[in-house]
Every structure is written in structure tokens, then in C-alpha cells.
Amino acid sequence: MGVSTSSPENGPENDGIAVVTVDFPPVNALPVRGWFALADAVRAAGRDPRVRCVVLAAEGRGFNAGVDIKEIQAKGHQALLGANQGCAQAFAAVYECETPVVTAVQGFCLGGGIGLAGNADAIVASDDAVFGLPELDRGALGAATHLGRLVPRHLMRALYYTSRTVSAAELHAHGSVWRVVPRDRLPAAALELAREIAAKDGRLLRLAKAAINGIDPVDVRRSYRFEQGFTFEAALSGVADRIRDTFGKEGA
């Protein structure tokens, strides 16, 4: 259980590829330490001069279910602050990784999962994958910044307000998912794209990543931190705890 990284020298056919895998059963709802561990792993992979592409993957039923709400319920504002800081670090690590990042998304990609996938360079998804922000149903806010990178702006708003999800096929139609494959083909499909990227010159790839980030119209780090201020305001007002308590009783 935790975050692990494969060696970039895991065989000639995967030369130059590091795979960062998240595994926090049962649903990959990450505790505070998990977000920081993920950030550290992605940054370390990107700094490795042998790495030309990073694949971000997950074990289990789904890619990511966001933060561990039970931890926040048990530890209060201190855990919320930790989750806010950890998510900000993990999302930034993916976006600022020195090499391109391909996410391999299966099952559910919710809450913090949207922050990771939305900040990646490319997404490969299984045909059972769904993407969404159930934040308003969980007493939270945030990651609209990243959902807005996956769908048009008005659709982002409707999805955010309703807490609905969209399928991998829908995101493929919008152009934000590179490829949709059967679940058992997901690891191979993600590695296939990563190999094509990693075949390029490593120095030039790093320059390309920096150049593309530099022309982005939205500063994703600043935009997300702005959202997080309202997340904490909801917590201080008491409305977040009221909604989270309902979530806990439902056992969702």
C-alpha cells in the first residue's frame, strides 16, 4: 500500500519510462501522507535524467477517489489543511514534472483524481472510466481549475454544480482523452503512448514541456490555490462538516 515507482531501466522496450503507481485500498482515497508521497514520487521521476516520460497509474477499482474524508472527519481542520497542501503539491508535481506525464485512468477519477488527470500531459482511459467532481456533495470545493482543462467551460460549470460524471468516451470526443481501451488493455495502451514520447530526445522533451507550460492561458497553481481558499471558508462556516457528516452516515 502506498506509492511506488518502477525503474526507468525496466527492460529495453520501456527504456526511459518511469511508472508511478498509487495503491491506497479500498478506493484510492488518499490520506494526507499519500498526497505528499505522490508529489515526491512524481518530482523524483521527473528529475531523473534517465526518464523521458512518466506514467501515472493506480491499482484497484479506480484511479482516484479524492481525499480521505474519514481522516478529515476524525482530525478536523488540521487534516483539511494537510489535504489542501498535499493536493496542491501533488497536482503541481504532475504539471511541473520536467518530462511529459501520461495518466492511465480506470474506473472512477473523482475529486483529487481530476486534479491529477487534468494537470497531466495526456490521458489514456479504460472504457469503464468516469470523471467528475462530487465536491459539493462532500462538503468541499476545488479542482474546477483542472476539470476546465478537460471539458468546455459551460459543461465544466454544469458538471460542478450537479456533481455528475462524464465517461471516458465523452472526454475522448472533447479531445481531452487520447485513447479509450478495454480495462485489461489499459496498462499496455498507456505504455504504448509513453514509448512513443520517450523515443524523442530527452533534452528536447524537457524544453518542450517547459515551453508548453509557459504558454498555458491559466496559471493552474494559482488558480487552484484560489479555489482552496473557498474550501477552507466552507469548513470554517460549518457547512462543510454538516455535509460531510451526512456523507459519513450514508456510508458512501
Q: What is the pLDDT of residue 251?
A: 42
Q: Edge-to-edge strands of the sheet including 165-167?
A: 108-110, 130-132, 165-167
Domains in the chain, please, with CATH?
Answer: 2-184+202-250 (3.90.226.10)
Q: What is the pLDDT of residue 70?
A: 86
Q: What is the pLDDT of residue 110?
A: 98
pLDDT tens string 91-126 = 999 999 999 999 999 999 999 999 999 999 999 999
How far apart CA 12 and CA 48 sit, in angstroms, is 17
Q: What is the pLDDT of residue 243?
A: 87
Q: What is the pLDDT of residue 150?
A: 98
Joined together, the cell numbers standing for residue 44 give: 523524483
pLDDT tens string 176-190 = 999 999 999 999 999
With a cut of 50, which residues of the chain have pLDDT below it? 250-252
